[in-house]
């Protein structure tokens, strides 16, 4: 059966997450339902990351096996037709080798978290960013974030429900951009790693927000990391501002 990689974009608000769940809407189910409109016997699909409820994606990658030898452009067009009106879109499709796996072939994942500081509730960005009331100290957050880059035991920053065999991960990059937004002062957290623990990004951003607000000193982030204790983590921020923006492979299937 020919194998195809799909680059998928979605608004996570209406979904209980990527993964198919009994009795709850999921992005996986939406894409599989569209595939089975094309081929009723199409098997299930696999994705690079199982995003949580409310988390968005601009560069999720999934793979599927189909009986027909589809032109990739026609496949993406047909899927987008059958995905309507769900807030899910296939940005592009590509034929890939049979041993390509969206999850296990990935060598890098990239996330963005959007945080907007303003007094008024969000309107246009409601559900797409985390709102806090007061501006943050971006330089202090950068100093705190520097303690997290590299290979560490991230027990403090993983969910108690995390199923990963080890809490040790290598965080390759955290950058924090501050920009003027017509809706308020916006802070964008960019994180890059081969893989992430469950709730790791939201735990890190929630902790760094406490640094930016002046409630934590930047060095307190290192103390929390070294504690290897979930209780030492700052508040876990909501999923609204989190986006899976890209997945890296040694051979880019969409090049």
* CA 90 – CA 61 distance, rounded (Å): 10
Active site residue 153: no
In angstroms, what CA-CA distances link 234 with 87, 198, 204?
32, 15, 8
Q: Quick check: helix, strand or coil at residue 206?
A: helix
Instruction: Give the active site residue among 41, 52, 69, 226.
Output: 52
Q: Which of 115, 118, 109 is nearest to 141 (CA)?
A: 115
- Phi and psi, residue 62, nearest 5°: -130, 160
Q: Which helix (H) or strand (E) holds 201?
A: helix 200-212
Q: Which of 50, 32, 34, 28 is nearest to 163 (CA)?
A: 50
Active site residues: 52
């Amino acid at each position: 059966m020919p194998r195809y990689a799909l680059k998928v974009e979605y608004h996570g608000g209406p979904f209980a997450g990527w993964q198919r769940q009994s009795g709850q809407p999921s992005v996986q189910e939406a894409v599989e339902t569209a595939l089975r409109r094309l081929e009723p016997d199409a098997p299930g699909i696999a994705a690079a990351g199982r995003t949580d409820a409310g988390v968005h994606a601009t560069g999720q990658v999934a793979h599927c096996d189909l009986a027909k030898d589809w032109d990739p452009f026609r496949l993406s067009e047909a899927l987008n037709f059958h995905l309507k009106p769900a807030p899910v879109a296939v940005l592009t499709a590509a034929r890939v080798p049979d041993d390509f796996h969206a999850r296990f072939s990935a060598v890098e994942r990239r996330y963005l978290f959007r945080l907007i500081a303003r007094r008024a509730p969000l309107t246009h960005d409601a559900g797409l960013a985390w709102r806090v009331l007061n501006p943050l100290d971006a330089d202090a957050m950068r100093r705190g974030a520097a303690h997290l880059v590299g290979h560490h035991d991230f027990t403090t920053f993983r969910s108690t429900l995390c199923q990963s065999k080890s809490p040790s991960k290598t965080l390759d990059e955290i950058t924090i951009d501050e920009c003027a937004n017509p809706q308020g002062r916006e802070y964008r957290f960019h994180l890059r790693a081969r893989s992430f623990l469950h709730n790791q990004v939201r735990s890190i951003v929630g902790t760094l927000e406490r640094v930016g607000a002046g409630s934590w000193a930047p060095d307190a982030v290192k103390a929390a990391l070294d504690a290897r204790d979930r209780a030492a983590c700052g508040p876990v921020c909501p999923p609204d501002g989190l986006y899976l923006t890209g997945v890296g492979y040694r051979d880019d299937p969409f090049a």
